[in-house]
Each structure stands twice: as structure tokens, then as C-alpha cells.
A and B are shown apart, each in its own frame.
Chain A
Amino acid sequence: MASYNRITAEVAAQLRAAVGEGRFFLNEEVDPNYSHDEMPIYGKYMPDAAVDVESTEEVSAIMKICAANRIPVTCRGAGTGLVGGCVPLAGGLVLCTKRMNRILEYDMDNLVVRLQPGVLLKDLAADAQKHGLMYPPDPGEKTATVGGNISTNAGGMRAVKYGVTRDYVLALTVVLADGRIVELGKSVCKTSSGYSLLHLMIGSEGTLGIITEMTLKLIPSPQYDVSCLVPFRTVEACIKAVPKIKLAKLDPQSIEFMDADIVTSSAAFTGNPIFPERVKNEDVGASILVTFTGYDEEELDQKMIRLGEIAKEADALDVLVVSTAATKKSAWAARSGFLTAIEAETKLIDEMDVVVPVDRIPVFLIYIRMLGEENGIRIRNFGHAGDGNLHIYCCSNDLEEDDFKRRVKIIMDKAYTKCAELEGQVSGEHSIGHAKMQYLRESVGEDVFELMRQIKSVFDPDCILNPGKVCDLSLSGRPA
């Protein structure tokens, strides 16, 4: 079990001196929000100190001090994670990158952008748009930092067509646990140059190094986009249509799934009933929202016509078109607000973010509903039907917290076992943090888990970077 030192007055003075005035906070000066992310059910852990960094050099100086004094360091962006990834389990120092929020440079010849990790996803999207460019990864949480997205290899709605965050990271500047600064990757389209430490760093949740600068790939912004909402009577019919759409060479940007319950919750919360609960006098059981993008309006019309034919064969109730600026705004506001809507109507909440082969989504959803009913837990779900990534929320307004946790554990244990049976993965895009470590271990098996631990020890032998996360057992015995 790792042992750490507390931040003494002397170390505090060194840390304070490493950054400018007003950016080091000790004990009660620390923002209490640094004790949790957006899933507080996994516990709150206050750090002893926090620092708002502004440059790679500052991060390096801080890591040197922490390495020399064996102080644990947990890197934090906007704190929008859902698995306790940025929560300082071992106390120590929270290193916050929010102030590193500058977009440094566009290279219009190579379509790349260089930026700091604290830039928010929505700000990058808007800024790239001004240059006629698009950053394709599109996770639902737009106020997350791009650094956080890279640390979790966030996916998002456009993954069906464009892939995930990993596919757009060309290079990173990283500060290692001992304060050394390394450059991983280059601004090139392909590489066959040794182990890819770049891709090891992506998705490593701040356990291998601190990302301080990123070079990302952009694409020319598509001129046209249109979405089709396809409502079905049942979840099964809805999901069965997805492979048919994918096989039809329509190249959709996203295929989003929503069941009737989440649509009702969202409409009640937002006052925005853009997704109909009844179509042609029939109740909608589930819908998919299919989005096409391109550079030719006629081409998109042809894709919609083909989608209409597939929908008819799949016994869809109708195909509704989201084409105007106003309906697009409404539809995506409603879709992006699903989690907020669930949070607003729920006192106790826990989540899973599994990814299964697309054709097995209905089997998994039916199983989860059954588990929810058996254990007296309300289930809400939505997700990315196009890539099999499901966001499943266990909710309760009536249970005591301990009873809720006990019941949810039963559900989670069985659900992750089922996920493994279906050849799925523990997390599609929310990552492991400390909340899902046990399930990762069971999923990948002891050999692979041990390899992960050995990699961690190469990068961080004293285990000061984000202890207790992903595969790190150094805090075993501590509450997690």
C-alpha cells in the first residue's frame, strides 16, 4: 500500500512559489467542488491543496516538488466526469487545468489546431467553426475540457462516422510524474515508429502523466446536415433497424437511441416536446435519431429517401425530419439534456456506460430493465445505437442511500457479467476512474490487468499520479 506525505508548510510555500499569486489554495481555501465530479454517489474526497496551473513549465515545477515530497497529484479539468476519475482519493494536491484555456494556433495548411488542455469542448467547436473547420468528436457534455476528453478517450454522438477522440489526437505535450516534459506524437497522418506512447497516454485518466498541450486534427466543416427521427413501437424493432441502416451505405454521422421513458422525462424537464411520444395515434416505444452530414443537399435528400425505405421495411411508425435551425436546436438541446433531465428528477443516481455489439443492445436493455424491476430501482437509458454504447442510469427518489447502493451493486454486478457474456466492454467513453476498477479487472482478466499495473509503475513508480484509479491498487484498504 502506498504511503504519502502531507503537504507541510514548507512544501506549501514551494508550491505557492511555483505559480503566480492567487493560484495556490491550502486546506479550507480549496474549492469544495474539487472533492467530487458529477457522480457524487462515489464519495467525496477533499484534497489538502489545489493549484490552478497556467503553463507546462508550472506543471513541471509542481510535479518535481510533489515527486520529491511524495505528494499525490490528481489532475482535474472541468470536473464533469462520471466515474470519480478526477477525485483526489488520497488527498494531496489537485492540479486544475481550467486556466490553461487558450487555443494557441491553427495550421490551415495541415488542418490541425494546437491548444491547451483546459479549453472547453464547446469553445473549441465554436472557434473551429469560425475557421470553417470541425472538431469531429462530440461528447454530450459540452462544458468538459478537451484535455479531459483526451484523458478519457471520450466518444460522443458522431463516433459512428468520424470515430472517437483518439482518432483526432496527433501530438501531446506531457509532464511525467517526476516533472520531465516529453513530446508524444507529431503532426503527421501516419506513423510506424515504435510503441505509441501517445495512444497509451490517451484514455489514461491522468495516471501516467499530465497533458499540458495538444495538437488535434480537424476536418472541413460539412456544409449541410439533416437529422431524421425514426419512431418505433418497441425497443426491439428500433434497435433491429440500426444494422440495416449501417449496411445501407448511408454513412450517418450518428445514430442516437432514446426510449419512451427518457423522452417523457426530458420533455417534462425542458418543456421541449420536440420528440413525439405518440405518432399516428400510436405510442412510441423507442426512437432513433439519425444524422447525415455532407457537402451536397441533394445527396442528403437521397440518403433520407433510402432511410425512409429502410424504416418502412423495419415497421417504423414514421420518419420525421429535423432540418431547420430551430428544430435542430430544439432536438439537440433535448438530446444533450437527457442526463440533466434524469439528474433533475432523481435524488440518488448511479450509472454505467457499457458498450456492446450493436445487435445485442436489445438483449442487454431487456436484461437491465428486468434487473431494475427485481431490485426496485428505476432504470433510465439512452445512448449511441450506432456504436453500441449505452448510458444506463439507476435512479431512486425513495430509498435510503445505503439501501440504494446495496441494490445498485447487485444490478451492476449482474449487468457487467451480462455485458461480458455479450462480448462488450466496461466503458464506452466515461472511463474507469475508481468506480469501475473492479469491473475492468473482471472484464480484462488478471494477466491484462497486471500488464496495465506494470505499465503504470514504469511511468509512475511512486504512484503519485491520480492514485487508486484505472488499475492502481495502491490504495487498497482505503474506502473507495
Chain B
Amino acid sequence: MLNILVCVKQIPDIDLVRMDPETGNLVREGVPTLTNPLDLNALEAAVRVKERYGGHITLITMGPPMAESTLRECLAVGGDEAVLISGRPFGGADTLSTSYSIVKAAEMLGNFDLIFCGKESMDGATGQMASQLAERFNASQISCCSKIEEISGGKIRALRTLEKGTELVEADLPCLLTVEKDNFFGRLPNLEAYLASKKAEIRVLTENTIDGLEMEKIGVPGSGTIVPEIYAPKLPEPGQIIKTGSVKTDVGRLMSLLVEKGSV
């Protein structure tokens, strides 16, 4: 039976997040959260492996207590247990300190044969977590996986989608995979699993309960990057379409606009 870890993240609905033009801060108040869509594709890949070979899926995330809802959503579609890393000292972490915290927590949960991650998160979009985790887990890595061909004898064979073709690769376990979203469209939970997920126990690990955690390596102190400023790019003035149904009127309006703007 394969021991599988799936890393997931709760993000704000990026379509609804706005930036405060004065402070440069993201305005998240009242913005609904969702599970990073690419993580759900990773979870689907993991669930298919479990269905084919048997296995146990542990879900892990780091975030505030409300990130629990993301774990419940993932439990409903195939996760077996869920772990939330939560605590104020983890706040402000970049990918370096996040990957450290996740691996230290995962070490307490057992040895994993396979680790699945979304390609990137839709909010931060660094795409760094998968490679950092593979390195810290001392695992091989298969990115852009479009199909898992075979898992046997301590090895995994999978297809990777490249810019101009497909590549068949083989890697030793443990192995970390990121997947192509189109090949792993997430499934809907069935009713029983959905209802069970609402009552499932979520294990919470804090800075005080993760074994061997070095405090200087988590949160802001453990981060290798500094973000001095965030600003919204200035967008060009949106274009307008003049289409009244009459070419004569359209041209007239266009000319008035051009004159108004001093272009002619």
C-alpha cells in the first residue's frame, strides 16, 4: 500500500481580491476563500493512484484555522486524513520557510512514497514549492505529469508533457509529482464522503507540537526573500468598441473621440 502525501493551500478568490491603492496591501476582508485549483488536480492524480494500487492519502496544509475548510473539501474527494499546520509564528512565510515547515510536520506523519503538489498556487504563483519540497524530502521529482503509467518495484513511470511532445520518464520512490490540470480534472464528492468530511477530525500541528522545529527557520525569520513593496501595474486605458450599426455614425463618433483626445 502506498503512503501518499498531498500538499494543498487555501487561497483568496483571486478574481475578487483588490489592492488598496494607498497602502499597496491586498484587501482580503470579506473575500471568499477557495482551494488552490491546481492542488485539486494533484489530489485527483493521487486518488487515481490510490484507486489503482491501494494507498493512504494524507492531506497537509499550512495556514490560519479557517484553512480547515480546504482540508475538509479534500477529504470529501478522497483524502484519508488531514493535517493543518497553524500558528502565528508561521505567518509571513515565503516558500523557503513554508517548505521547511511542511517537511518537518510530514516527518512526524511517516515516510511517504509519493508526494503530490499543485504546479503553483494561483495567488503567489511562484511555482517554487514542489522543487523545494522534493529537495527537502530527498525525493525524485516528476513535473508536468500528464499520465502515471506504472508504479512497481520502488519505481514510478510517468508521461510528462513538454512544449513539443511527451516524455516517458522513470524515477525512484519516493517521488514528488506535479500534474497537468487537463488530465486530472477533479471529481465531485459523493454524498456520504461529503457528509463524513464535515465531521472528520483535523489534526492541528503548531510551532509547539512539531518535533525538532527550529523557530528561526519558520515564518518571516526563516524566509529568504523580502518583499519591499507591492503595487498594481498601471493598466492602459481600456479600448472602446463603437458599433451603433451604422458605419456613418461609427466613423462620426470615432472622429469626435480622436478630436477630443487631440489625436487629429
With A25-B245, A29-B248, A304-B191 as contacts: A326 and B34 at CB distance below 8 Å: yes
A319 lies within 8 A of B34 (CB): no
Closest to B198 in A: A301
| Dominant secondary structure of chain A at its interface with chain B | mixed
CB distance from B66 to the nearest CB of A (A): 14
Q: Given contacts A325-B34, A326-B34, are A320 and B188 in contact (CB under 8 A)?
A: yes
Q: Is the CB of B245 within 8 A of A324?
A: no
The one of B37, B191, B247, B253 that contacts A228, using a Cβ cutoff of 8 Å? B191
Digitize A294-306: 1 where CB-to-B-CB distance is under 8 Å, 0 elsewhere. Answer: 0000000100110
Given A22-B244, A229-B188, A276-B187, do A323 and B194 touch, yes or no (CB 8 Å)?
yes
Q: Which of B35, B182, B245, B248 contacts A326 (CB 8 A)?
A: B35
Q: Bound complex: CA of A11 vs CA of B90, how far in Å? A: 76
B residues 173-225 in Cβ contact with A at 8 Å: 182, 185-192, 194-195, 198
Whether, in the assembled complex, A412 has its beta carbon less than 8 Å from a beta carbon of chain B, the answer is: no
* Contact pattern, A 272-313, Cβ under 8 Å of B = 1, otherwise 0: 111010000000000000000000000001001101100000
CA gap between A30 and B244 in the complex, in Å: 9
Taken together as a complex, chains A and B put the C-alpha atoms of A272 and B181 apart, in Å, by 11
Whether A22 and B253, one on each chain, are in contact in the complex, defined by CB atoms closer than 8 angstroms, is yes
Chain B residues with CB under 8 A of A30? 245-246
B32: CB under 8 A from chain A?
yes
Pairwise interchain contact A29-B245, C-beta atoms closer than 8 A? yes
Residue in B closest to A52 when the chains form the complex, CB atoms: B244
Are A325 and B13 in contact, with the CB atoms below 8 A? yes
Task: Check: B76 CB closer than 8 A to any chain A CB.
Answer: yes
Task: Kindly report which residue of chain B lies nearest to residue A320, judged by CB atoms.
Answer: B188
A364 → B minimal CB distance (Å): 29
Q: Is B249 an interface residue (CB 8 A)?
A: yes
Q: Is A29 a contact of B246 with CB atoms below 8 Å?
A: yes
Residue A322 at the chain B interface, CB threshold 8 Å = yes
Question: What residues on A are CB-neighbors of B252 within 8 Å?
Answer: 22
- Is there contact, CB below 8 Å, between A301 and B195? yes
Judged by a CB distance under 8 angstroms, whether A442 is at the interface is: no
Q: Decide if B246 touches A319 in the complex (CB within 8 Å).
A: no
Q: Are B253 and A319 in contact (CB under 8 A)?
A: no
A271 interface residue per 8 A CB criterion: yes
A346 interfacial contact with B, CB 8 Å: no
Task: Give the residue name and chain of the B residue nearest to A324 (CB).
Answer: B73
Q: Is the CB of A318 within 8 A of B190?
A: yes
Report if A321-B188 is in contact (Cβ < 8 Å); known contacts: A305-B195, A326-B34, A326-B35. Answer: yes
Q: CB distance B189 to A325 under 8 Å? A: no
A273 and B185 in contact, given A321-B76, A326-B37 (Cβ under 8 angstroms): yes
Contact flag A50-B188 (CB < 8 Å), given A271-B182, A324-B73, A326-B37: no
Q: Verify if A413 is at the interface (C-beta below 8 Å from B).
A: no
B185/A25 in contact, CB under 8 A: no
B183 shortest CB reach to chain A, Å:
11
Among candidates B32, B185, B249, residue contacting A325 with C-beta atoms closer than 8 Å: B32
Interface residues of A toward B: which range? 20 to 34
> CB within 8 A of B249: which of A22, A228, A276, A304?
A22
Q: How far is the CA of A307 from the CA of B194 in the complex (A)?
A: 14
A274/B188 contact (C-beta < 8 A), A25-B245, A29-B245 known = yes
Nearest to B191 among chain A residues (CB) is: A319
User: Does A31 lie at the interface of the complex (its beta carbon under 8 Å from any beta carbon of B)?
Assistant: yes
**Partner among B186, B191, B245, B253 whose Cβ is within 8 Å of the Cβ of A31:** B245
Inter-chain contact A25/B35, CB cutoff 8 Å: no
Please give me the residue from chain A that is nearest to B33 by CB atom.
A325
A29 to B249, alpha carbons, bound, how many Å?
Answer: 9
Set of chain B residues within 8 Å of A323, measured between Cβ atoms: 189, 194
Q: Which residues of A contact B198 (CB under 8 A)?
A: 301
A22 to B186, CA, bound (A): 51
Contacts of A229 in B (CB 8 A): 188
Chain B positions 97 through 137: 1 when the CB is less than 8 Å from some CB of chain A, otherwise 0: 00000000000000000000000000000000000000000
Is B190 touching A320 in the complex (CB atoms < 8 A)? yes
CB distance from A55 to the nearest CB of B (A): 18
Interface: A327 (CB within 8 A): yes
In Å, the complex CA distance between A325 and B190 comes to 17
Q: Which residues of B contact A228 (CB under 8 A)?
A: 191
CA gap between A50 and B246 in the complex, in Å? 11
Residue of B nearest to A318 (CB): B190
Closest residue on chain A to residue B70 by CB atoms: A324
Q: Which of A7-39 contact B (CB under 8 A)?
A: 22, 25, 29-31, 33-34
Contact B245 A276 (CB under 8 A): no
Beta-carbon contact of A276 and B195 below 8 Å:
no
The proximity string for B residues 221-245 relative to A, scoring 1 for CB distances below 8 Å and 0 otherwise, is 0000000000000000000000011
CA distance A50 to B245 in the complex (A): 10
Q: Is the CB–CB distance between A320 and B191 below 8 Å?
A: yes
CB distance from B205 to the nearest CB of A (A): 25
Interface string of A28-69 (1 = CB under 8 A from B): 011101100000000000000010100000000000000000
Chain B residues with CB under 8 Å of chain A are 13, 32, 34-35, 37, 40, 73, 76, 182, 185-192, 194-195, 198, 244-249, 252-253
* Closest 10 pairs between A and B when the two form their complex, measured CB to CB: A31-B245, A29-B246, A320-B188, A319-B191, A321-B194, A308-B191, A22-B249, A318-B190, A25-B246, A321-B189
23 cross-chain CB contacts under 8 A: A22-B246, A22-B253, A25-B249, A29-B246, A29-B248, A29-B249, A31-B244, A33-B245, A50-B245, A229-B188, A272-B185, A301-B195, A304-B195, A318-B190, A320-B187, A320-B190, A322-B188, A323-B194, A324-B35, A324-B73, A325-B34, A326-B35, A326-B40
Beyond A25-B246, A276-B188, A321-B194, 8 additional contacts (C-beta under 8 Å) are A22-B252, A29-B245, A29-B246, A31-B244, A274-B185, A304-B195, A305-B191, A320-B188
